[in-house]
Amino acid sequence: MPLPTSEDVGRILDAATAGGYALPSINVTSSQTLNAALQGFAEAGSDGIVQATVGGAEYWSGAAKDAQAGARGMALLAHELAARCPVGIIIHTDHCPPKNLDGFLRPLLAASLERAGRGEPPLFHSHMFDGSTLPLEENLATASELLAQCVEAGVVLEIEVGVVGGEEDGVGGADVDHSRLYTTTEELLRTAEVLGTGDRGRYLLAATFGNVHGVYKPGHVKLKPSILRDCQDAAVRTFGQSARFYLVFHGGSGSDLSDIHEALDYGVVKMNVDTDMQYAFTRPIADHFFRNYDGVLKVDGEVGNKKAYDPRTYLALAEKAMAARVTEAAAALRATGTSMLRNGMAAHA
C-alpha cells in the first residue's frame, strides 16, 4: 500500500471529522515499537500515526545523540515498512519546543521541500511545534511562519495552545499554573484570527482541557471536554461553519472512555497514546525474564538457553502485546475498520 499523499492526509482528517472518530497516534522509539504500531493498525483496519519526539528521535540515533539524524532514519524506515502495510500510515514529529526549532524541525521541513522539488513525498507528513510555553502571541507568530513553510512542503502543522500537564521528554507543564491546563475560548479565537480557518493551510490544534502526560490513578486528572465544544461553537459563530478545528488529544493514556468519546464528539481527530504503549511493550518482556530466568541467565555456571535470551524471542512477545494495545486504542477511538486507504476511498487507492 503506497504511503498517503498530502491530499490523502487531508481526506483522512476530513473523514475522521465526519465520522466522529480519531486516529491513534503512537510514539515509536525503535524498529520493534514501529513494527508493533504498524501491526496494530493493520489488525484494527485503522489508518494511524507513528511519531517521534525530539528525545525519541535522539534515541533513534543511538550513540550519535543527533535528534535530526534519528528522525530522518526513523522516517526512512517508516516509509519502507509502512508501504507494505494495508492501511494508511502518517509519519509525524511530536512536541518540538522553541529551543529545538532550528536544529530539528526546520531542517526536517527543508528536507521535505528538497524532496518535493524532486517530485518525492515529504519526509514527514506532519510536524508539531509546541510553543505552549511561550506567550500566546509569540506562539502564534512562530506557528504562522511555520504554517506557510508546511504548506509549501505539503506537510500538516500541529500546534498547542494551552499547556498539557505533566512532562514528556522534557516538554510539558509540570509546574505551570493550574488554569493554563484549560485553553480558553479567547485563545482559540485568536488562533483562528492569526492562522486562519483552513484558508491559509490545514493545521491540527492541541487545545488543552485538563490533559496531563503520563498515567495516573482514577480521579487524579480532571478532564473537561466541554471546553472543546465551547471553543468549536465560538469559532463557528465567529468565522462560519467551516471554521471548526481539527483537534488533538494529548495526555490521553489512562483516560475514561466516556471522556474520550465526548472529546471525539467535539472534533478530536488525533489522540496520542504513549505511556500505555510503553507498559504494553515492557510487560511481556518482564514476564519472560521472570519465567525463564535460568534460561536467560547463565545460573551457577550453566550455559542458559539460547532461545530464551535471543532478543527476537522476547521482543516478538513485546511487539505482539503492543500491537494488541494499538487495536484496543483504535476501538476506543471508534477507528476500527475506518481505514481510508484500505477501503479504497483515497485518491490513489
Helix ranges (H only) for the chain are 6-19, 31-44, 54-60, 67-82, 106-117, 136-153, 185-195, 226-239, 257-265, 275-291, 293-296, 306-309, 311-332
CA angle 8, 13, 16 (to 5 degrees): 125
Q: One of 8, 14, 47, 94 is an active-site residue; which one?
A: 94
Taking residue 17's Cβ as centre, other Cβ atoms within 10 Å add up to 18
**Rounded CA gap, 254 and 209, in Å?**
15
**Rounded CA gap, 271 and 246, in Å?**
11
Collect all residues with Cβ–Cβ distance below 8 Å to 98 and sequence separation of at least 6: 129, 131, 133, 134, 142
Decide if 310 is catalytic.
no
Collect all residues with Cβ–Cβ distance below 8 Å to 241 and sequence separation of at least 6: none
**Are the beta carbons of 65 and 97 closer than 8 angstroms?**
no
- Locus of grid cell 530539528: 104
Q: Which residues are catalytic?
A: 94
